[in-house]
Amino acid sequence: MKKLSIHVMAVLSLVLVYSCGPKITSSTSTQKDLSNYKTYAYLPNSNAEAPETVQQSEDVGKNIVQAINRNMQNAGYTLDRDNPDLLVIVNTNYDKETNVVVDREYNNAYYPYTSSALPVNRYYDSYYYSGYNSYNNIVDYDVNLRTHTNAGMVINVVDRETKNILWTGTAKNFDIYQQNASQEVSESVDNVFKKYPTVSQ
């Protein structure tokens, strides 16, 4: 009977962990085959910030960028900072239930850009679009973010020339700023990109 109770508790624990895991969503806003695009770069965005320390912010941002790079390259894209076909922009949000309120880091480049003098956060080094500071007015960008207000992480892939959002991937129910979250961040990005619509994958 004791063994049965232990087994039941183990099963319930697994169910609880699974049910509390990130909810992954994906939406495509184009009829284009995204595998026809060849190159990408980032629009730097200091929204990837943390509620506790600057170092935690940079660790989270670095993990996100590294994981996205791996997935974009696995999808067949190569990095091109000067003339990319696609632009990747990342936003993260806080869990509203924790009542954590943090000012945005305006000391780093934050989209939409209002000043060309702001530096780019270090985790975008070697990856950001060289013409970022004159790039504005992504079509329906604000609408997109309002739609995903409660997502822990939002990844948008944008057509650089048309400024249309082609694809959005989100991870909800995910505390992206938990301690020692590097593996969880990487796995969450990987799960988001499992829904990315390319022939290459």
HSE, CB side, 13 Å, CA atoms: give it for residue 199: 7
CATH of the domain at 97: 3.30.160
CA distance 72 to 66: 10
Q: Give the strand order in the sheet containing 165-172.
A: 23-28, 165-172, 151-159, 86-92, 39-42, 78-79
How many domains is the chain partitioned into structurally? Answer: 1
Q: Does some domain include residue 13?
A: no
Residue 103's φ and ψ, nearest 5 degrees, are -70, 145
68: Cα separation from own chain's centroid:
8
Q: Does some domain include residue 109?
A: yes
Of the listed ranges 69-78, 130-139, 166-175, the least confidently predicted one is 166-175
- Domain carrying residue 144: 22-193
Confidence bin at 181 (pLDDT 50/70/90): low
pLDDT at 91: 86
* Packed helices 54-74 and 182-193: angle between N→C axes, nearest 10 degrees: 30
Q: Tell me if the pTM is above 0.85.
A: no
Q: Does some domain include residue 8?
A: no
Q: Does some domain include residue 111?
A: yes
In the chain the first and final C-alpha atoms are separated, in Å, by 48
Q: Does some domain include residue 14?
A: no
Q: Does some domain include residue 127?
A: yes
Q: Does some domain include residue 108?
A: yes
pLDDT tens string 100-138: 334 444 467 878 887 766 788 888 999 999 999 889 889
pLDDT at 127: 96
Q: Does some domain include residue 143?
A: yes
